[in-house]
């Protein structure tokens, strides 16, 4: 993987969406064909032999590379969304944020006990969002669940939030807190 290409094209937006946050803007990677291909190839190389049957993407930045990877892997794509967005029967999981709580939902029939699932999102900060997604997917009893991020912020130790046996991989690690 050409890390230099990806890191040099990842835009940092200071103080977005609130003062003090260094926002890693993955749209600056998505808009460049060479970066999009590099990300897609790197993800494919990581997961091509894992028997993945469903890629789960977290709304909304997890939809971009998640669905592209699903096509490469001959897997299905499943969205995790904010409440009230999915039209059929859902199950949900709530989690604490810095201020208040958030809830995410998945279609109840999106995953079954024969699936091997990869959950994908753009960025690991505290890990709260992904842990809720992991717990949500686990409720549907798939054979195995793996976790992937494009970017991991190394200052927050978000990785520590996941169970020790969880398979958590990131393409890039960048400084951030």
Binding-site ranges for ligand AMP (CB under 6 A): 21-24, 58, 61, 121-129, 158, 176
Choice between 49 and 98, CB closer to ligand AMP: 98
Between 53 and 86, whose beta carbon lies closer to ligand AMP? 86
Specify the residue, 79 or 127, whose C-beta has the smaller distance to ligand AMP.
127
Question: Is 98 designated active site?
Answer: yes
**For residues 55-77, b (16+ Cβ closer than 10 Å) or e, as one string?**
bbbbbebbbbbbbbbbeebebbb
Catalytic residue list contains 159? no
CB of 50 to ligand AMP, least distance (A): 22
Report the distance separating Cα 66 and Cα 51, nearest Å: 16
Catalytic pick from 61, 93, 105, 152?
Answer: 61
Shortest distance in whole angstroms from residue 24 CB to ligand AMP: 4
Per DSSP, the three-state class of 138 is helix
Q: Is the peptide bond between 121 and the residue preceding it cis, with omega within 30 degrees of 0?
A: no
| DSSP-derived 3-state class of residue 167 | strand
Task: Tell me if residue 117 falls in helix, strand or coil.
Answer: strand
> Minimal distance in Å, beta carbon 15 to ligand AMP?
11
Which residues are known to be catalytic?
Answer: 61, 98
């Amino acid at each position: 993987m050409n890390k230099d290409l990806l890191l040099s094209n990842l835009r940092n937006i200071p103080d977005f969406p609130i003062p003090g946050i260094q926002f890693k803007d993955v749209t600056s990677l998505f808009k460049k064909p060479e970066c999009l291909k590099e990300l897609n190839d790197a993800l494919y190389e990581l997961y091509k032999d894992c028997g993945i049957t469903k890629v789960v993407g977290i709304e909304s930045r997890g939809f971009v590379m998640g669905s592209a990877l699903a096509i490469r892997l001959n897997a299905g794509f499943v969205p995790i969304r904010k409440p009230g967005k999915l039209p059929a029967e859902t199950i949900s999981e709530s989690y604490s944020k810095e201020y208040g709580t958030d809830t995410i939902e998945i279609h109840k029939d999106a995953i079954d006990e024969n699936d091997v699932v990869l959950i994908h999102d753009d960025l690991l900060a505290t890990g709260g969002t992904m842990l809720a997604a992991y717990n949500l997917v686990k409720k549907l009893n798939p054979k195995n669940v793996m976790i992937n991020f494009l970017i991991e912020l190394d200052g927050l130790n978000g990785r520590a939030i996941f169970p020790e046996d969880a398979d958590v991989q990131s393409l890039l690690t960048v400084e951030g807190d």
